[in-house]
């Protein structure tokens, strides 16, 4: 645990004998390898671990970050932040500085009257130092410590892609959907798709919920994307693929396309090899059209092809080529984004996966997509049972409801509260008429002459919580019954395609055949990187979310660039700062930046359940301009600025 010398945290002076509460101090040891943290500054105060560092110099650097991030919309921050920087610069060069009362007044006015978190929280470390440790505010030479600072917010930290959410919401409020969409385009090309199917981890941390309800962040992203794409103002980044190296990317799903996107922006030539005859991966084949229209997806894939990416279809790793073949053709690096294209079955006693009306959820959703695309949707005669509790299960049961002539049942062995599916998806499925059976486990298929007649099930009971607090389930003897049905769909998980890699490829995998990667998305084989569903590593393990996969793809692209440019993988100081904020619980005590009048969250218009019962038309509708403005106005811009000083230079920092 680092040795705390002095500081102020949550308004209380602290030191080695009076340690700050509500923070995991052991997480503040090093920032990067062998580079101890010397000072930390945040909206809650500052902590000094190295007395050799000039506190005045650190505060000046921090206030420069505050000034650079001020949006200029309110005068306290617009004028106050530069005044603080100027005053601290004078203090740095003066033998005696007598302007601290004025500095305190400016900083206090910013905290009390600024309109957002930049001005309201940025000066807090300075105020704390003036109040508790004025004797430390003396001019001292810069010892060339490392410095890194970032502006973030609870919603940004909750987003695996670290998208600047308040910024794109601001642009919507100002009437600039094109600029809003381009904020997201800095991170990934799937703006409209993510605006429809993202799991909204950002909304789960939105501080507006302390007032009324979270800002509808995902739907605002969708509004910006739809408006910008419809007007034609969003165009691909102009790139110059002048680098001599070419990179092979395996898989044209969101992860592969996003990695290609960032490599193209860095000047690399990119060839993408896709096993199927269309790009998009699971968001094309696994997410039904009523949630994600495929013309939106097509436009987004088109961004990377217009930037220069070449996509070769019907080219499958392990069947048409191997890893060695790619290096033999001169590719400088290989990126694996193979996904988990195989569905899992239930593993019941006597299970026969060859039965025509028993299929896994992945195969079922792909069959539905192909049928709808061809204008001949499949028909499910009779009742249908789907087994599972995740979003794939919700997609299956909602799709089946549009195709079945009978009742659609969903069984899940745990409670509704335990179901990993998005609560909105469960509500939508219920509204469309799906019959849910929670605490209900499958036992065996019932068949007659090769046809399914039912699914034997048993009621489940919750057990006592285990060490992690999670309750298990156990069958209740004597509660066995049969749900009559003609079709059973197993929607309980996804698997990698084991045939894609062999021992000859020399790439380490875990027992589930997921590719093992380190924190830089690098495999054990030199020059081979991987991300997304097919990987297991520090950032994720196995099937993941769209936004998390794209976040990994961004970092993988940076690692590939660093590997080809410097012969080593990268250290990303922004990602490290995010880990530090999480591990040290720096935001856990965060409160609203100001008191707000409750304002109703804008309801997104949807097709009525009766309208969508037999239709694959998109259910959710895009907000109107007026609705988007109202919803964007609910954002409180809960920005926070975090700065660290380290003993040595930080890669990517100052």
Fold observed for domain 344-493: FAD/NAD(P)-binding domain (3.50.50)
Mean pLDDT, the chain, whole residue set: 92
**Domain positions in the chain:** 6-152+640-646, 156-235+620-632, 246-341+496-577, 344-493
The reported pLDDT for the residue numbered 143 is 72
Which residues 6+ apart lie within 8 Å of 641 measured at CB? Answer: 41, 42, 43, 62, 65, 66, 69, 118, 121, 122, 149, 150, 151, 152
Lookup result for tokens 């440790």: 133
pLDDT one-digit tens code per residue, 63-107: 999 999 998 889 999 999 999 999 999 998 888 888 999 999 999
Residue 14: closest CA among 52, 46, 58, 51: 46
With contact defined as beta carbons under 8 Å apart, do 608 and 117 qualify? no
SS (H, E, C) 346-386: CCCCCCCCCCCCEEEHHHHHHHHHHHHHHCCCCCECCCEEE
Compute the radius of gyration of the chain from its Cα atoms: 27
The reported pLDDT for the residue numbered 466 is 81
**pLDDT value at 614 more than 60:** yes
Q: What percent of the chain lies above the pLDDT cut of 90?
A: 81
The reported pLDDT for the residue numbered 224 is 94
pLDDT one-digit tens code per residue, 619-646: 999 999 999 999 999 999 999 999 999 9
Residue 345: closest CA among 388, 374, 313, 375: 388
pLDDT band (50, 70, 90) for residue 571: confident
393: left (phi over 0), alpha (psi -120 to 50) or beta: alpha
**pLDDT value at 483 more than 60:** yes
Q: What percent of the chain lies above the pLDDT cut of 70?
A: 97
The reported pLDDT for the residue numbered 436 is 98
C-alpha distances out from residue 217 to 154, 166, 194, 606, 639, Å: 13, 9, 11, 17, 15
Q: What is the mean pLDDT of residues 292-321?
A: 94
With contact defined as beta carbons under 8 Å apart, do 303 and 189 qualify? yes
pLDDT one-digit tens code per residue, 502-526: 999 999 999 989 999 998 899 999 9
Q: With H, G, I as helix, E, B as strand and everything else as coil, classify residue 466.
A: coil
The reported pLDDT for the residue numbered 484 is 97
**pLDDT value at 593 more than 60:** no
> Token pair of 139, please?
């001019």
Q: With H, G, I as helix, E, B as strand and everything else as coil, classify residue 342.
A: strand
547: left (phi over 0), alpha (psi -120 to 50) or beta: alpha
542: left (phi over 0), alpha (psi -120 to 50) or beta: left
Distance CA 431, CA 581 (A): 40
| Domain covering 6-152+640-646 in this structure, CATH number | 1.20.1440.230
pLDDT one-digit tens code per residue, 95-146: 888 899 999 999 999 999 999 999 999 999 999 999 999 999 988 776 788 9
Distance CA 11, CA 15 (A): 13
Q: What is the mean pLDDT of residues 258-264?
A: 96
Q: How many CB atoms lie within 10 A of CB 644?
A: 26
Q: What is the mean pLDDT of residues 544-548?
A: 90
364 against 464, higher pLDDT? 364
210 against 489, higher pLDDT? 489
Lookup result for tokens 């097919």: 534
pLDDT one-digit tens code per residue, 412-449: 999 999 999 999 999 999 999 999 999 999 999 999 99
The strand pair at 269-273 and 310-312 is best described as parallel
Fold equal for 6-152+640-646 and 246-341+496-577: no
Fold observed for domain 246-341+496-577: FAD/NAD(P)-binding domain (3.50.50)
pLDDT one-digit tens code per residue, 367-397: 999 999 999 999 999 999 999 999 999 999 9
The reported pLDDT for the residue numbered 654 is 60
Q: With H, G, I as helix, E, B as strand and everything else as coil, classify residue 526.
A: coil
> Token pair of 229, please?
């794409």
Which stretch of DSSP H or E encloses residue 457? Answer: strand 451-465
Helix locations, 199-286, DSSP H:
201-204, 217-231, 254-265, 282-285
pLDDT band (50, 70, 90) for residue 173: very high
**pLDDT value at 595 more than 70:** no
The reported pLDDT for the residue numbered 641 is 97
Helix locations, 489-594, DSSP H:
546-566, 573-583
């Amino acid at each position: 645990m680092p040795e705390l010398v002095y500081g102020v945290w949550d308004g209380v002076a602290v030191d080695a004998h009076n340690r700050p509460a509500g923070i995991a101090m052991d997480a503040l040891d090093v920032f990067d390898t062998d580079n101890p943290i010397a000072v930390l500054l945040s909206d809650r105060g500052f902590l000094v671990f190295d007395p050799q560092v000039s506190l005045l110099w650190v505060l000046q650097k921090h206030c420069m970050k505050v000034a650079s991030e001020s949006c200029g919309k309110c005068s306290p921050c617009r004028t106050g932040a530069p005044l603080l920087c100027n005053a601290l610069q004078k203090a740095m060069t003066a033998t005696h500085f007598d302007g601290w009362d004025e500095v305190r007044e400016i900083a206090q006015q910013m905290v009390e009257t600024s309109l957002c978190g930049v001005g309201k929280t940025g000066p807090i470390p300075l105020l704390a130092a003036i109040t508790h440790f004025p004797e430390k505010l003396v001019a001292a030479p810069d010892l060339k410590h490392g410095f890194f600072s970032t502006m973030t917010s609870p919603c940004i930290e909750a987003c695996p892609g670290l998208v600047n959410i308040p910024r794109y919401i601001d642009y919507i409020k100002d009437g600039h959907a094109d600029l809003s969409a381009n904020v997201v385009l800095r991170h990934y090309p799937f703006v409209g798709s993510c605006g429809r199917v993202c799991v909204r981890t950002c909304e789960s941390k939105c501080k507006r919920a302390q007032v009324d309800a979270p800002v509808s962040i995902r739907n605002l992203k969708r509004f910006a994307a739809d408006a910008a794409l419809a007007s034609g103002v969003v165009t691909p980044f102009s790139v110059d693929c002048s680098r001599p190296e070419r990179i092979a990317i395996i898989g044209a799903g969101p992860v592969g396309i996003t990695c290609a996107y960032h490599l193209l922006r860095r000047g690399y030539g990119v060839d993408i090899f896709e096993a199927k005859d269309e790009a998009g991966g699971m968001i094309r084949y696994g997410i039904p059209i009523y949630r994600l229209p495929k013309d939106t997806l097509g436009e987004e894939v088109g961004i990377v092809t217009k930037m220069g990416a070449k996509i070769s279809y019907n080219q499958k790793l392990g069947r048409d080529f191997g890893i060695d073949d790619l290096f033999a053709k001169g590719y400088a690096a290989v990126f694996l984004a193979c996904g988990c294209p195989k569905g899992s079955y239930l593993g019941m006693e006597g299970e026969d996966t060859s039965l025509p009306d028993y299929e896994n959820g992945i195969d079922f959703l792909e069959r539905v997509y192909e049928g709808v695309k061809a204008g001949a949707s499949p028909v499910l005669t009779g009742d249908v049972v789907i087994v599972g509790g995740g979003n794939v299960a919700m997609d299956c049961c909602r799709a089946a409801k549009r195709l079945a002539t009978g009742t659609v049942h969903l069984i899940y062995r745990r409670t509704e509260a335990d179901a990993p599916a998005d609560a909105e998806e469960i509500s939508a499925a219920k509204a469309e008429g799906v019959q849910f059976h929670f605490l209900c486990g499958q036992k065996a298929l019932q068949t007659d002459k090769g046809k399914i007649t039912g699914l034997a099930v048993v009621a489940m009971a919750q057990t006592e919580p285990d060490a992690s607090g999670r309750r298990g389930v156990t069958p209740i003897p004597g509660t066995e019954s049969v749900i009559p049905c003609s079709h059973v769909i197993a929607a309980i998980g996804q698997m990698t395609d084991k045939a894609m890699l062999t021992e000859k490829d020399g790439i380490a995998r875990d027992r589930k055949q997921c590719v093992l990667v380190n924190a830089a998305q690098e495999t054990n084989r030199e020059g081979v990187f991987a991300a997304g569903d097919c990987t297991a590593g520090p950032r994720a393990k196995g099937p993941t979310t769209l936004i998390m996969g794209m976040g990994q793809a961004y970092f993988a692209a940076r690692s590939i660039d660093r590997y080809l440019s410097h012969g080593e993988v990268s250290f990303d100081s922004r990602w490290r700062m995010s880990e530090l904020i999480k591990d040290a619980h720096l935001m856990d005590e965060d409160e609203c930046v100001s008191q707000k009048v409750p304002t109703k969250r804008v309801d997104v218009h949807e097709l009525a359940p009766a309208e969508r019962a037999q239709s694959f038309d998109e259910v959710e509708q895009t907000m109107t301009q007026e609705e988007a403005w109202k919803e964007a106005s609910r954002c409180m811009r809960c920005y926070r600025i975090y700065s660290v000083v380290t003993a040595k230079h930080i890669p990517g920092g100052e």
